[in-house]
Amino acid sequence: MKKEASKDAIPALSKNAATVLEKRYLRRDVEGKVLEAPADMFRRVAETIAAPDGKFDKKADVKRLADTFYRMMTSFEFLPNSPTLMNAGRELGQLSACFVLPVGDSMEDIFDAVKFTALIHKSGGGTGFSFSRLRPANDVVSSTTGISSGPLSFMRVFDIATETIKQGGTRRGANMGILRVDHPNIMDFIMCKADQKQLNNFNISVGLTERFMQAVERDEEYDLINPRDRKVTGSLNARKVFSRIVRQAWENGEPGIIFLDRLNRDNPTPLVGEIESTNPCGEQPLLPYESCNLGSINLGMFVREGAIDWKRLKEVVHDSVHFLDNVIEANNYPLDQIREMTHANRKVGLGVMGWADMLILLGVPYNSEEAVKLGKKVMKFINDEGHLASQELGARRGSFPNYKGSIFDKKGAQPQRNATVTTIAPTGTISIIANASSGVEPLFAVSYIRTVMDKNVLVEVNPIFERIAKERGFYSEELMKKIAEHGTVADIPEVPADVRRVFVTAHDINPENHIQMQSAFQLHTDNAVSKTVNFPNTATIDDVEKVYMLAYESGCKGVTIYRDGSRDEQVLSTGKKEEQQAAVAATPVEDDKKAIKRDRPKALKGWTYQMQTGCGPLYVTINEDKTGLFELFTTMGKAGGCAASQSEAIGRMVSLAWRSGVQARQVVKQLLGISCHCPSGFGDNRVLSCADAVAKAIQAHTVASGYDINAESARQERGACPECGGIVEHEGGCSVCHVCGYSECA
């Protein structure tokens, strides 16, 4: 039966928005056929979220409210978090992005948490945990007279469960793992992702205390405390621990840091419990069993004739808080405990996207004092109006049940519907739908290149830049391609100076600018601010330390950094465990005496794999000796020329690497995801280039042979999207594709 076209009209979607909606959001039948248009999706969501008004007021005009919500979303002034768009009005009905679960210090509590995690991930949510309650490794277990295996061993159990559950569904499961800095196993935790081979379904952050930070500043010792009995078990030098955190973050972006005392300073319901963890991207501190109910206002839509439309912004803030409070009622929670706790505190998190767009439209450079001042002003307005909206709802519907003893009760404030109102979350996929810049981040790129299925190379241009370039007469396809190749307009003389001044990208600004902007928004945000501080590859460890200290000094609640290319680096051993160092790239061995290259036997056993590439069939032969993988040969069907010669060269270099002791995982990591102008296939069978085909053949061989090369993590550590090969941005501790909407953190 042919589906009727939607009667609702919405603004034209960008190519990327249409792709993301069709692939990840629109309702489908059991055969995968799309059953609704984008307008139908927005109408479905609007009607579902408006319906709870009838519960509070029998005379409520639910249809009118649904129209208000519909216009707000289809004008892209506001969008809720992805699960609400995906699931509202559908059978699953799970509308929250993420949850925090407790992990108690008993086998029963731990495996209850594993079970609950599986149920949450199955429903499309992410989870945050603190493992700080778990007794340290080798500690006594009185019930069995044995010894504890410690927090890290149980983190691996959660990681494996996530790996299993995430194989299905439209959103990957993601986790945040936090350990207090005073836990006896803190040094092992800091190093737990150093080799990038384990815990790849976790973001990790160290929970720092005020006492620890004061010890860092004074270069003093601080106590380690066993959570089992709260007794001091030893001490460490705070400066050395902090330096190790910084060095690991420099090497591969983790761990991040979270200031626990600051989270609890702003805990609105301290009598209910202590905040121990956040959601996977770090911006939403939650009590155990609480959930995130998030949405974002698109600031770029509120600039009229070079000025901010404060009147319309106020209206949308009030409607958005109303929307998010209704989400709590309409939500189908995966656990009874989560439903009860979420209803008891009714936390919502209204944030923003399109901040960089607003600055551009106002002619204000992101990396300017004026931008920081404006950020404080805009977020104060949103926070103040958001709390007024929550008070109005509280007057009509009642305050949240845990109001007594809350910070609002102590201040003698007006009735308050929601324990928190504002959160700055990363907006990876919903900002693609809105064709807006993400969160409070600067532009990632003014222009970039992507390859589409028909083998055409397309240049994607920021819509505001494209409009200005055409209006001012300097637009050309050649110029847009040149900008895409440079990634910035800072050094493009064809672009007028005043335009270059405002179209700054993430790598045009220094790390201090990132922290200043995060601090500006944090000042007027109830929860926390998701923000990634981007560093060039050449940044030093001291640069990272400076930013971590600046985040502490400027009032941030946490910080995540990413040094460009750092997750593609390999840790090389000098022969002494304490002298490991990160290389800027996978470096060849310069002294042959240091490498032991295996000699080739006269006979080897091998397997040949046929890989379909855009240049024709590629036959990849992999041979082994008694030690393991030994050599690789390629044959390019009937084709010759560059494809055949380059494939042969790849085979020779792979063979040399294997004979010199390089692991298969490292070879795959270097080759997987490299794309050319002529990809082939779809989905899991998609081959981006001959190099990508060789990597996939090695993967297939290692799986069949029983090797564990952690193939998926290798895909995700590259700068290219593992699903479409598009541009990937590191945002809020996650990799997000701005072409197809893929996110490693759901």
Q: Which of 47, 276, 283, 631 is catalytic?
A: 283
CB 601 within 8 A of CB 592: no
**Under a CB-based contact definition with an 8 Å cutoff, are residues 663 and 709 in contact?**
yes
3-state secondary structure 103-128: CCCCHHHHHHHHHHHHHHHHCCCEEE
Any catalytic annotation for residue 279? Answer: yes
Integer Cα distance of 419 and 527 in angstroms:
10
Check 98, 281, 676, 724 and give the catalytic one. Answer: 281
- 745 vs 173: CA distance, rounded Å: 7
**Contact indicator for 403, 327 with CB cutoff of 8 Å:** no
Nearest to 286 by CA among 297, 275, 298, 296: 275
Helices of type H across 194-330: 210-218, 238-252, 260-265, 310-330
Coil, helix or strand at residue 257: strand
Residue 709 · residue 90 · CB < 8 Å: no
Instruction: Please tell me the distance from the alpha carbon of residue 451 to that of residue 676, in angstroms, as a whole number.
Output: 8
Residues whose CB falls within 8 Å of the CB of residue 289, separated by 6 or more in sequence, listed in order: 99, 100, 101, 102, 335, 337, 338, 340, 341, 342
* SS3 sequence of 16-56: HHHHHHHHHHCCECCCCCECCCHHHHHHHHHHHHHCCHHHH
User: Is 642 one of the annotated active-site residues of the chain?
Assistant: no
In whole angstroms, how far apart are CA 702 and each of 147, 623, 707? 36, 12, 5
Q: E strands within 395-540?
A: 447-451, 457-461, 532-535
Question: Catalytic: which of 279, 345, 418, 534?
Answer: 279
DSSP, residue by residue, 585-637: S-PPPS-GGG--PPPPPS--EEEEEEEEETTEEEEEEEEE-SSSEEEEEEE-T
* Token pair in block for residue 116: 């609950």
CB 204 within 8 A of CB 177: yes
Q: Are 430 and 320 in contact (CB under 8 A)?
A: no
User: Which amino acid, one-letter code, is at 543?
Assistant: D
Q: Where are the beta strands (DSSP E) in 401-471?
A: 447-451, 457-461
How far apart are alpha carbons 301 and 432 in whole angstroms? 14
Sign of CA dihedral 135, 137, 142, 144: positive
CA 263 to chain centre: 20
Q: Which two tokens stand for residue 695?
A: 């990597």
* For residue 722, cis peptide bond before it (omega within 30 degrees of 0): no
Check if 281 is active-site. yes
Nearest to 245 by CA among 190, 178, 179, 189: 190
The residues that are catalytic are: 279, 281, 283
